[in-house]
A and B are shown apart, each in its own frame.
Chain A
């Protein structure tokens, strides 16, 4: 996917003015946040499981070379083939080659963010192979030629009316007067259309939520069952996964599964969790005859040796974006690459460069909710701060931010003046807010007040409250 992260400010402004997007984002806020909190609360062991999930992945990352070797050995043992791809281009070439050897005309696909990352669909289409996305959300954005806006709900930015309009535009062989106003009708229509594609596909490509070193197994987690039809019906199954997806044992994957669905959708478990070990075996009446796993590095090994390697623990649940006030305001497309929200702000600079993605770690209020809900305990704000510091060290911090910081630093180094200023400014601002407690407009601050109010100070200064609480102790 071609990144547009460098135009984040313009993307965000456009998103804030898009009425359809704002309606869709409102629904996201109400649908997931409560369900996730309830699912976590129902499992008293949730916090312990988070610790263990974190430790499992830390152990894997420290032994990543060996677990990948073991995974490959076990896949080979059952008749599968593991392919190694350092770069996006290598992964695309390997997959195209497998598809060509299979004589593929159409390829069905389960949802895979790695596939978005390497822009696989464009590459297949350019080489005469038709890719068909089968996850409903992915299908909806494929027919609109859009990237996903959320890692588990790729079409979360769309309204029902937009989907209906697209179906009427594209599915012209169906009766014009048919009723499509309800979500159930839209789902039924997509089911019918995609059912034929499942049955006709020559190759099925899925991602993987996990790779299990113990048994050489790949795991997909879905609610629709599309991934299963994708990988069961065609003669060839290709699994596309990045290297950090490996986990040691079935017990370890069980622990991480317990935090995954609860953090992603608030379900106890996703409807389908499927463990695939190699191709069809002697006597099997169905299943793929060929089983390929393409392992992508794509910049991950570079991250291993850095102070932000924690990012490689991510299991792509989407909880961070579901809870992010910035994501809630601008949606996923504004971030301009595959991974939106806090995970994108922390990961994209590492994968596509700080030059391209430098705005993203700045698009954060540092409220800390992302870290609070991350099932893998990734310190997302700390990693965003790391990128900001790096930008500062490289002299890439913007002039207004630098001016403001210089002004603040000048006062901060003169405590007496700072206290005096704060004591005078606070009541003045309170007065200026005319008892409303907030400002709708402030000079020089349109970037803030155009989209939300600025709170007016209330009560006394922090220093005054601190001194009072400590009873005058130093």
Chain B
């Protein structure tokens, strides 16, 4: 990064300190910042983010439906491949899906849906249907949470026109704060997976005369297969 002015950083930080009338080595300020970062505290969490699991799942679904997503429910994980195949048929979509190798979806009994052809790995421009697994959801705004990793390509969430997402009802949380707590447990403090996607409906734009149109650049359709609890 040879073009970087080696002094630019120091100059900018010094200017900020001058404007604030503080010194860089002020211990009290450093302690205040470190404390806030090492033990993150929740601010007000909306009351709508709490409730029984059943209430949260119902609220999550209602909000995401309002944001133009569709749902199918499965009592058991084994029903998922057939539900995917049914959705593709219903919407006249090719029986070919792109997905990662996350065990939660790769280990599904795909032999139950023999017509569906599966391609693994990152999405290409020609893929029409993507299939991913959400690691959780926040009921407060009907938001799905997906994370990237070796088995979970991010491109699947945005390139195909149709996005089908598997979500376990047991993974539905109330608030964003619960999601962060869960990710800290999974990945450690003060770090995140490379990409965390909050997805709250299909892609949309209102840039032409304020009219809402679905499928701006990302998926036109978002379909959630909710597994576990009857809703």
Contact = CB atoms under 8 A, between A and B. Distances in A.
Contacts of B122: 285-286
A274 interface: yes
A229 B217 contact: yes
Given A67-B33, A285-B100, A277 B205 contact: no
B44 A255 contact: yes
A223 B15 contact: no
Given A252-B43, A285-B122, A70 B4 contact: no
Given A187-B216, A224-B216, A301-B12, A52 B44 contact: yes
Nearest to A61: B20
B213 A86 contact: no
Contact of B16 (A186, A286, A301): A301
B159 A229 contact: yes
A298 to B, nearest CB: 10
Interface in A10-68: 24, 27-28, 30-32, 43-45, 48-49, 52, 56, 59, 62-68
A243 B177 contact: no
A269 B207 contact: no
B133 to A, nearest CB: 15
B3 A97 contact: yes
Task: Describe B's contact surface by its main secondary structure.
Answer: loop
Nearest to A226: B217
A135 interface: yes
A439 interface: no
Interface string B16-35: 11111110100001101100
Given A65-B13, A65-B20, A268-B200, A228 B141 contact: no
Contact of A225 (B42, B142, B203): B203
Given A70-B33, A225-B158, A285 B153 contact: yes
B201 interface: yes
Contacts, number: 286
B170 interface: no
Interface string A73-98: 01000100101111000100110010
B205 A274 contact: no
B38 to A, nearest CB: 9
B126 to A, nearest CB: 10
A27 B177 contact: no
A279 to B, nearest CB: 7
B90 interface: no
B12 A283 contact: no
B39 to A, nearest CB: 9
A179 to B, nearest CB: 15
A301 B18 CA distance: 9
Interface string A370-396: 000000000000000000000000000
Nearest to B193: A277
Interface residue tally on B, bucketed by range: 35 or more
A136 interface: yes
A191 interface: yes
B47 interface: yes
Interface residue tally on A, bucketed by range: 35 or more
B157 interface: yes
Contacts of A97: 1, 3
A270 interface: yes
B176 A254 contact: yes
Contacts of A250: 40, 176, 180, 192
B103 interface: no
A56 B16 contact: no
A251 B122 CA distance: 31
Given A65-B24, A268-B67, A268-B140, 10 more contacts: A153-B207, A183-B209, A183-B213, A191-B215, A249-B36, A251-B42, A254-B43, A271-B199, A286-B154, A304-B19
Interface of B: 1, 3-5, 8-9, 11-13, 15-22, 24, 29-30, 32-33, 36-37, 40-44, 46-48, 63, 67, 100, 121-123, 125, 140-143, 148-150, 153-155, 157-159, 175-177, 180, 190-211, 213, 215-219
Interface of A: 24, 27-28, 30-32, 43-45, 48-49, 52, 56, 59, 62-70, 72, 74, 78, 81, 83-86, 90, 93-94, 97, 134-137, 140, 153-156, 158-160, 163, 183-184, 186-188, 191, 194-195, 198-199, 213-215, 217, 223-226, 228-229, 232-233, 243, 248-252, 254-255, 257-258, 265, 267-287, 295, 297, 301-305
